[in-house]
Structure formats: C-alpha cells, structure tokens
Structure 1
C-alpha cells in the first residue's frame, strides 16, 4: 500500500486546503496546506478529499432491489425523489457497500454542479481526487445507540450517530440531535485518527456517481459555491436531518413498546404488529366498572346531546361493550366521545350511515388508553 494524500476542501473558494500525507501503517508523514494555483505542484499519489458535509444529504434505505451500481443508484434516487430540492438530473446519488444481510444501505446525494466544482478546485490545487467523502462520514458510528459524535469542521459541526449523519451550523445541533447525548470530540489527535481511518478506508465515494466530467468545473467553483442552496439538496438538509433523528427515535420507542406489550400480554407478542393488537384489545376490553358503568356513562353522555338516542346496547366476553346510537348530526359523536373520555372511557366508531335524515353510529366502548 502506498501513501495517501488527505485533503480538506474548504467551504469557500480561494481558501487554502489543509492536507496530510498518510503512511501505509496509518502514521502521518507530513502536514501542510495546498494553495490554488501555487507554483510548486504536489507529487502524484492517491488522493482522498473531504468535502463540506452541509452540502451532502445522507440517508439509510431498506429493501433496495438487487442490481448493478447504476441500477442501485437509480432505485435510490427514485426512493428519495420527494425529499430532494432538485431534479434527478442535477444531483448525483451514491449507494454505499452492503454491510450485512437485511441491513439498510448508506446513500449519499450531492449536486452535480458542486461535485464538479470540488473536483475543479482540487485540480486548481494540482491534485486529482480518487475519492471524495463528506466530512460527517469520516466519523465512525458511536457504540452508544443514544449518542451522537460531534466534530467541528470550519464553521460547521459534523454529527454522526447510529444510521444518522449530518453537518449543520452550531446553533442547530441541539434541535437536530434532540434528546440524544452529544459526544463532542475536541482532541485534534483523535479527529486526525478518524480522518486517517477514513482516508485508508472511506465508507463512500461521491465520485462513484459517475459525475467525473470536469469541463468548466474550475471556472464554475466560485459560482457553484455561491449558489449551493439552489443547486442541491440544501433547502431540505435540516428537514432531512431532523427526520432522520425522529425516525431513529421512533424506532427506539417502538422497540420499547413491543417489549412492554410482550411483558403485559405474551400472546400478542406473536402478532405481526403487537402494538396495534394491544390497542384493539384495549378498545374492545370491558371499560372500568364493567357493563354497568359503561351503560351509565353512555346514557349520561347521550342525554347531554339533544336528539341523540341509544338504539341498542350489547356486551360479550370477546368483543366487550358495543352500542348503536342515533343522533341528528354527524358532529354529535365528537361530543359524546369527549364526554366519555372525560370519565376514562374510549369510544371507537366502527360504522356510520345516514338513515331517514338521522345519523346512525355503531360504537365500541373500552378503557381509555
């Protein structure tokens, strides 16, 4: 294995780019800065460039169909079509390697113009990138599922959690991370080790999107930098980051809920959706106080709605308490449901129809969740 050059692409054109040369054993042979259009040109070697992650949208997708690289990219782009602020011909989509059976695939999306502009900027430094990786993907996933690693790159903060990666402004970190624990990494040597690991084994390469046409890229670097928000995904970056965080939180809450269902009702744990099964059981289960209390509560609630009547009231061991109500308007059930909820009973409307100018509703009465 030969030495690798790692270059950090700055957020603004014209700025110098920090770099280091990584030895085959992972040690750092040299550190410095590359300036655009410098007289002395760097030696040729494999080059890994780290780009600003705020301009890259990262996702994890399940159930991508089998196929070649082009087919995977097309499938991922189609899945993400509603989340992008640009048409598919203006963005480059890259799918990471599989990490195991039935595991979601890492997908990164970047504007074609920015990708070409970054390549042009690197050429202005005298280097040609073999790999371009966003800064947040140079960080390893934390071992703690509730933790998010945070590293500052320039004026932005790169965040990496379990199946989550985003780069945001410092004042947005708390909103994006939510209740998860932020693990701030400020030790420069620890950050450098992460960069070295990424240089030797990058998790994704934005150049795999096939967007290697550099014609005019150097000229367009400044323009692309100024128009980044119009070129790419950036208008929805924050939304995507928050959605990813909420999705992770929802998965964690659902896991906890399923465990609670299994503990409370082991027979429901075998259901395809244990949580929904428990809700159905709660809805149909006898309400507090049994049939007598349900009947008394229902009579009281119906009596408070002018013109409403109880046509039938039945109770069975399996289905709990059910009733058929007749009332003048469609909105009457909202008032009856509210009054029942106030005393701890849940009303579920199972059917509603209009008959001879009146509304007839079939309901079930259970304990309020």
Structure 2
C-alpha cells in the first residue's frame, strides 16, 4: 500500500499535475497525473505538494538567536532588498535553527500564490501535509564547486550546499558560474525528489494556518475570475436597480455572496458577506511596508520593561502582533511610540495569564 503521494503543482491551474506514490520505505511504486477536468476525487492519502521553485525565493540567512516570530521578522528585514515586491506580501518559512549558529534556510512565497495553490488542491479534495519548493527536494551536494541539477518541467532546478534556485534553461550556465553540475534524470531523479520532499528542511505551510485567508493569486489564474465577479457585482446590482430589474439584482447579490464565501469560508454565516469580503480585499498593509512596521514594533516593545513580543503574523488587515507584558497600561506606551512612527494601533484582545498580560494588536491596517 502507498504511504504518501508527492504531488507536483503545475505552473498553470488548467494543466495536469503529475504525482508519485511512495511506499513506507520511500520507494516510488507508482506514477500518475491529476487532470483538472476529472470528475472523481483522488483517494485520501498523505500528500506532500512540490511547488514550482521559480515562484519561491530561498536564501540562507544569518539570523539572530531568538523565538520563531522574531526570527521570521528578522528574515523579512533581510529580504527587503531582494524581494521582487513588498515583503509584507510574503509568507516566510524557516528551517530549524542550526545548532552551530550558522546560516538558517529561509523560503519566501507570495501569500496569495500559496493560497491559490491550496485552493487548486481543494478542488481535488486534497489538503497537503506540507508544501515545499522543488529545488529543495534535490539532494544538497557535499562540495561547494558541484551543484545538483534537474529538469523540472520547462525550468531547471539547481541545488548547492547553501543555494537553491529554479530558473529558465538559458540561465543555468550563468548561475553555475563554472561549477560542475551533477544532473539527475529518470528513476534516480524520481527517487531523489520523493526522498527530498518527505524530508524537506522547510514547509511553506509553516505560517499558513496563522494567517487570514487572502485573495487568490491573479498571476496563477485560479480564482481570478471569482474575485473579478465579486468586485464587479455591486456595479451589476446598481445597474439592475436603475432598470427596476429586481430579479437581476437579486441574482447578482447571490452571486456576490457565493463568491465571498468561496474566498472567505468563515463568512458563510455573515449577513452581508459580499460587503465584508470587499472590505477585506481593500484592506492594506501597514504604511511604509511590514519591515518598517516591525522595526517600530520591536523598538516600542523594547522600551517597555519586561515586555516581550510573542508572535507576529500578516493578515488581510495588516500586521498582527502578540505582546506579553506586565500591566495593562504598558499598551499606552507602545501605542504612543507607534503613533509617533505614523502607525495606527487597534487593540484586539487583552487577557491575563499567569499574572502576565497577553495582548493582541493590529498595526497599521488601512481602515
């Protein structure tokens, strides 16, 4: 019996997705494809999804010893000059901290694209146990002057001791810069990918369950049509009202609600789901970007004696932080410091635990 399925996410939602079935000893025992037009859902089995590495930024960073939330914030700051867009639009996953204090593997992916991949898998009734980039599934070479290489669809994945990237074939020579390439093919490649996926050092789902669900990625064309229908529907309703066509207006309203609930399932019991979904889609990140906001938050918390930052996550409404502090009025000092930095602060919850206060704040969301 198969122990796990290694599912390769295609570069476009309408393409078939190949998969490998692996037994308990890690051997590839079967191969197949998921067709987006197939009617039956595949059998339920442990699934590791392998994402196109070209859409994931992997770096080995020198991060300070700290808790996971602080390490993730430090990684965002380190990536600020390397990310193609604002770092606040990324989900950042970290490997375990090296025992020797060396470089720490960091993988960053667009949060919207990750959501699109997950929704695509939901159409097959698949909820992956992990999502990993294809280049990190390749075995890391022992020598810095030799890289592992493999053809991954139309692209090529490259892996060094502290390097991983997936690029177009015409960029391979420039990326290798004279290094020898150890090419994997056929069954050897399948076996390496299966073993690497099962033991990948990072999981892109690391922070997914702690974030609010966002709009699906436009570039991946999975839920773009749904999002467009949701945004257009109020205009349809206005036109229908002007023409006294109540039936059309009601139909547009129902379509908008269906679209809203598909984007945000938690709105299923909300009376005006479409309006709430539009509000979430319009919500913006902290002004100046998350890196700037996190820097201000760290500074404000450090000025409060005994206060610690327990967690920091990004959601549709901005930066959310959890603070562990001694007294309720500590929030006044933090709020004042962040106000001077031009950041809005909303107190979400505050509760006493073990003689300490645990407070959750939303920082800088557009409202």
TM-score, normalising length from structure 2?
0.57
- Consecutive unaligned residues of structure 1, counting only runs of 5 or more, are 227-369
Q: Could you say if the C-alpha distance between residues 216 and 76 of structure 1 is closer, same or farther in structure 2, counting changes exceeding 3 Å?
A: closer
Aligned partner of residue 206 in structure 2, secondary structure? helix
- Consecutive unaligned residues of structure 2, counting only runs of 5 or more, are 226-367
1:64 aligns with 2:59: no
Work out which of the residue numbers 198, 201, 210 in structure 2 matches 1:200: 198
Matching residue of 1:276 = none
| Equivalent runs, 1:135-154 vs 2, <5 Å | 135-154=134-153
Matching residue of 2:162 = 163
Q: RMSD of aligned C-alpha atoms?
A: 2.5
Q: Deviations over 1:322-349 (max 9, x none)?
A: xxxxxxxxxxxxxxxxxxxxxxxxxxxx
Aligned equivalents of 1:167 and 1:85: distance in 2? 15
Larger Rg: 1
Q: Could you say if the C-alpha distance between residues 145 and 88 of structure 1 is closer, same or farther in structure 2, counting changes exceeding 3 Å?
A: closer
Tell me if the contact between 1:96 and 1:204 (Cα under 8 Å) persists in the aligned partners: yes
| Equivalent runs, 1:178-193 vs 2, <5 Å | 178-186=177-185, 188-193=186-191
Runs (4 or more) in structure 1 with deviation over 4 Å come to: 211-216, 218-221, 223-226
Tell me if the contact between 1:48 and 1:132 (Cα under 8 Å) persists in the aligned partners: yes
| Equivalent runs, 1:15-34 vs 2, <5 Å | 15-34=15-34
Aligned equivalents of 2:180 and 2:143: distance in 1? 9
The Cα shift of 1:209 comes to 2.5
Aligned equivalents of 1:218 and 1:167: distance in 2? 20
Q: Could you say if the C-alpha distance between residues 106 and 219 of structure 1 is closer, same or farther in structure 2, counting changes exceeding 3 Å?
A: closer
Q: Could you say if the C-alpha distance between residues 219 and 166 of structure 1 is closer, same or farther in structure 2, counting changes exceeding 3 Å?
A: closer
Tell me if the contact between 1:92 and 1:109 (Cα under 8 Å) persists in the aligned partners: yes
1:108 aligns with 2:107: yes
Tell me if the contact between 2:50 and 2:133 (Cα under 8 Å) persists in the aligned partners: yes
Aligned partner of residue 42 in structure 1, secondary structure? coil
The Cα shift of 1:225 comes to 9.5
Q: Deviations over 1:42-100 (max 9, x none)?
A: 12222100111011111101142311x22221111112112212223211111111343
Matching residue of 1:43 = 43
Aligned equivalents of 2:219 and 2:71: distance in 1? 29
Query: Size of the alignment, in residue pairs?
Result: 224
| Equivalent runs, 1:1-369 vs 2, <5 Å | 3-67=3-67, 69-186=68-185, 188-210=186-208, 213=212, 217=216, 221-222=220-221
Tell me if the contact between 2:48 and 2:131 (Cα under 8 Å) persists in the aligned partners: yes
The Cα shift of 1:182 comes to 1.6
Tell me if the contact between 1:7 and 1:18 (Cα under 8 Å) persists in the aligned partners: yes
Tell me if the contact between 1:62 and 1:104 (Cα under 8 Å) persists in the aligned partners: yes
Aligned equivalents of 1:109 and 1:162: distance in 2? 18
TM-score, normalising length from structure 1?
0.56
Aligned equivalents of 1:25 and 1:180: distance in 2? 33
Aligned equivalents of 2:46 and 2:142: distance in 1? 31
Tell me if the contact between 1:16 and 1:34 (Cα under 8 Å) persists in the aligned partners: yes
Q: Deviations over 1:152-191 (max 9, x none)?
A: 00000000012011110000001111021122222x1111
Aligned equivalents of 2:112 and 2:93: distance in 1? 15
